[in-house]
Amino acid sequence: MSVIISTGNVSHSHQAHLINPVGGLKSRLNLWKKQQGQQQGSAEVGLEATIDIETNTTEPFVCSAEEIVQKKFELSAKLFFPTGSSTSARIRALDSALRRLSAEISSSAPFTTSLILSFPEITFSDNDDDDDDEDRNLDQSSGLAHDILDVWSSASQLAAKYGIQNLGVSEFSTARLAALVTFSEKSGLAVPTVNQINIRDCCVLPPSLISLAKKSGVKLLAHNDTLDVLPVEEVPGLVGLLGVTTLDDWNWQWLLKITGVVADRGVVYSQGWIVKFAKL
C-alpha cells in the first residue's frame, strides 16, 4: 500500500520548505485534509492511492510550454533514495518517480532539463582516499560500487522514455566522477553532465575535480540540501495526516525535489517536492 504526495510549487513559502520537504508536505497535507473534510482512511483506498493536494493556493511546478520550448525555463529534478534501500528498490523508484513527474508536468512541459541522482551513502570528500566504497561490492573495472552502476544504467535507459535531457549526480569525488564518466562512455550510456556539491564544501574544490569537470563537460553546481533530507522519524507524523492509523510500518521510497529556473536570469521560478510513502 502506498501514497504519492506532491507539494506543488512552494517557492514563495517559508525558506525552510525549500531546504527540507517536511514543512512543505505538512502544509499541503493540512490543506488537503481540510479540503477532504478530514475524512479518515482516505489514503488507504486501492493498492496505490495518488493523493492530489491541489487547492486554490497551490501553484504548478512549471510555467507555460511556450516559455520552456524557447529555452527560457529549465526544469530539474533531484531524486533522493532512502538510506539502506536495495539496488532493485532504487531501480523501481527511478521508474515510479519519473512516471509521476511526467504526469505532474506533462500538460505544461515537454521535457525535464536534468535529473540528478543523490545516493545517501555518498558524501563529498576532496581526498579520494576517503571514498567509503571499500566495504561495498565494487566493480573491479571501474572502481565504483555495483549498485551505483546499475542505477545509473537504468537512469540512462529511462532518460529518453521520460524526456530527460541530462543526467547528473551529487557529491561525487574526482575518483568517483572519473570512474562514472569512463564507465558511461565504454557502455554507451548517458555521460553525467552535472555534479552537485554541498555549498559547505564547494568553496574550495580540489583542482583535480575542476580539471576533470572541464575535460568531461561536467558542470559543478552547489546545492544546500540537508544530509538527511527526510528523516524517518518524520514519516509517522506526515502519514498520520492522511488518516492512516497504523503508522509503524510506513517509510518513504523516493523523494523528488523539483526546481525551475529562468535560464537567462538564473532566477528560481518554482520549487517543490514529490514523495512516495509505502507501507512495508
Asked if 83 contacts 142 with a C-beta cutoff of 8 angstroms, the reply is no
Asked if 166 contacts 131 with a C-beta cutoff of 8 angstroms, the reply is no
Please enumerate, as own/partner, the contacts of 223-228 that have beta carbons within 8 Å and a separation of 24 or more: 223/78, 223/170, 223/196, 223/197, 223/198, 223/199, 224/19, 224/198, 224/199, 225/19, 225/78, 225/80, 225/118, 225/170, 225/198, 225/257, 226/19, 226/20, 227/123
pLDDT at 271: 82
> Tens-of-pLDDT digits for all 280 residues of the chain?
788 888 877 776 555 445 678 887 887 777 767 766 655 444 443 335 555 444 444 555 655 555 555 556 778 899 999 999 999 999 999 999 999 888 777 555 545 689 999 999 998 876 654 455 444 455 655 557 888 999 999 999 999 888 898 999 999 999 999 999 999 999 999 999 999 998 876 667 889 999 999 999 999 998 888 889 999 999 988 888 877 777 778 899 999 998 887 766 667 777 888 999 988 7
Whole-number Å distance between alpha carbons of 178 and 97: 27
Whole-number Å distance between alpha carbons of 74 and 269: 9
pLDDT at 260: 80
pLDDT at 8: 76
Helices then strands (H, E): number in the chain? 8, 9
Whole-number Å distance between alpha carbons of 206 and 261: 28
In the numeric block, the cell 524557447 is attached to 70
109's grid cell: 512541459
Asked if 10 contacts 30 with a C-beta cutoff of 8 angstroms, the reply is no
For the purposes of burial, counting CB atoms within 10 Å of the CB of 29, is it exposed (0-12), middle (13-18) or buried (19 or more)?
buried
125 CB-side CA count, 13 A:
12
Helix 87-105 to helix 146-161 angle (10° resolution) is 20
pTM of the model: 0.85
Whole-number Å distance between alpha carbons of 126 and 215: 18
53's grid cell: 493536494
Residue 261 is classified by DSSP as E
pLDDT at 92: 96
pLDDT at 24: 79
Residue 196 is classified by DSSP as E
User: How many Cβ atoms from other residues are within 10 Å of residue 269's Cβ?
Assistant: 20
